[in-house]
Structure 1
């Protein structure tokens, strides 16, 4: 078992996505699963933070992503999981080079085929609100990045025809989805079944999911989109702090966090602090003293 550090697992599907994240990691070392199960990561520090980043290239597809994410989570015990990569845009106003931060991810292939047609049985996986909030804060300070916080469609298909049956299926049943990719649903399924993880999917737009996909890819759009997604992922982690500081203490032991002008944290007040957990819904409350 590797030495314990506050760790974020950063997952990619393609070599070019891996290459976009890798330069952000300092003092890298390669780790191999101790049971020789096949999992292999590079781990190193994210400068200026307490985070160690473990970077893995999984290959394509949701089934593959779910299985390997589960394996690596059980091995490294990360506090958070990010999938970082490229995707096709499903909206005319979301262009090549933009970044879509998933607010939820749809598994698009669930349903029932009947004599009256295909009846959709949607499956949607929420992301961590703590990470989503950190990403929203991070992109406000980033020049040259257009970020969209929208749902993402995820299925084992490369969409290169805007008039295809699958494209029509998306417009009719997942019309709020801003991008389509192939691994986010599997990754979020694994993270949520674990029950203790923050998880987020970030995708740089490399094409418009139409017949011009290959032309866009030939211009280097995938590399540029991956670099944009990686930069947003790193900026997000600079905002999102580990559950315990360098001394191992828990944030929740000291009360709710406030961010000072210099980026440091202070604590106080009388409200409930759920920042250390993977809670995804709104909570309104006030912590009161003991009453006999």
Structure 2
């Protein structure tokens, strides 16, 4: 595969999630970081993207730390967290997919004599990726994929009782959340700290966050939900375009030669490319004898 192809890092927590994403890749190879973190990198056919898929394990803190490492190592253009979640709304079904317009970290707050007062943090999904998801979900609906662009709640809690005090806390303070999971806030925060990195959380609904969770899992709901989430992630990336302007054909590198195009569509002339950089004050240059 081309070393210059634009990269998307796809994060998962569980083996079933990892396997669902990996099934969409061609020409995979394993890469190992100096600290031991492993990814499989492969091509997403029909797109300019190279995908690097990682299985991080459970929890937001773990996700945040390893996401920072992976972003620093692989320098991706986009980051997706793809996996399963519990559904929080009556109109959501097992196998539906929630694309996170927002991700809430739900456990921050203040304990007062009047009770616990929530102090949430929130990260919005990348506008570019949410828009790509909007288009992708319309296409996938024809194939029977039910998708929702809605907020997602994230906490280091497995919710398996919809009548619990914690479930009531979620309903009172995060009433617009459609799903609950454990890693999205960590990945979203790491993406935010990395600067202008497009990031999105995509979750397939494998249970209803109630006492029937174990029965749902035993029925194969996690496998189905993970497969649907991976399908939506692929659909999003088929719509999403690299920032450098790569074409949608497979194997395109996404690079451009400079900031000024000639009549043939190529960049050229006596120009310096500062795209993506930061500078202050005038830039002065002189060309002598064909050299700058």
TM (norm. structure 2) is: 0.84
Kept after mapping to 2: 8 A contact 1:243/1:250: no
Partner-residue secondary structure (3-state), 1:144: coil
**Matched residues in 1 for 2:220 and 2:56: separation?**
22
Q: Which residue of 2 aligns with 1:221?
A: 221
Question: Any conservation in 2 of the 1:191–1:199 contact (CA below 8 Å)?
Answer: yes
Cα deviation, residue 40, structure 1? 0.7
3-state SS of the aligned residue for 1:156? Answer: coil
CA 1:250–1:61: 2 relative to 1, 3 Å: farther
- Once residues 122 and 12 of structure 1 are traced to their aligned partners in structure 2, the CA distance between those partners, rounded to angstroms, is 24
CA change 1:253–1:221 in 2 (3 A) is farther
Q: Which residue of 1 aligns with 2:124?
A: 126
1:249 aligns with 2:256: yes
Q: From 95, 101, 116, give the equivalent of 2:114.
A: 116
Q: Deviations over 1:6-46 (max 9, x none)?
A: 0000000000000101110100000001xx21211000100
Matched residue of 2:107: which SS?
coil
For residues 122-142 of structure 1, the C-alpha deviation after alignment (integer angstroms, 9 at most, x for no partner) is 110111010010011011111
1:66 corresponding residue in structure 2: 64
Instruction: Compute the displacement of 1:5 (Å).
Output: 2.6
Distance change (3 Å), C-alpha of 1:99 and 1:69: same
* CA separation of 1:252 and 1:202: change in aligned 2, threshold 3 A: farther
2-side partners of 1:212 and 1:151: how far apart? 23
1:153 aligns with 2:153: yes
83, 89, 101: which one pairs with 2:87?
A: 89
SS of structure 2 residue aligned to 1:141: helix
Which runs of structure 2 are paired with 1:1-292 in the superposition (5 Å)?
A: 3-33=3-33, 36-142=34-140, 143-244=143-244, 245=246, 246=252, 248-249=255-256
Return the alpha-carbon distance in structure 2 between the equivalents of residues 62 and 129 of structure 1.
Answer: 22
CA distance in 2, matches of 1:19, 1:131: 23
**1:243–1:251 Cα contact (<8 Å) kept:** no
Alpha-carbon separation, structure 2, partners of 1:57 and 1:219: 23
1:4 CA drift (Å): 3.7
**Structure 2: where are the runs of 5+ without partners?**
247-251, 266-274, 277-292
Instruction: Name segments (4+ residues, structure 1) moved above 4 Å.
Output: 250-254
Using the size of structure 1 for normalisation, the TM-score is: 0.84
Number of corresponding residues: 254
Q: Give 1 or 2 for the bigger CA radius of gyration.
A: 2
Distance of 1:183 and 1:45 partners within structure 2: 25
| Map of 2:283 onto structure 1 | none
Whole-angstrom distance in 2 between the partners of 1:147 and 1:196: 26
Q: Distance in 2 between matches of 1:23 and 1:162?
A: 33
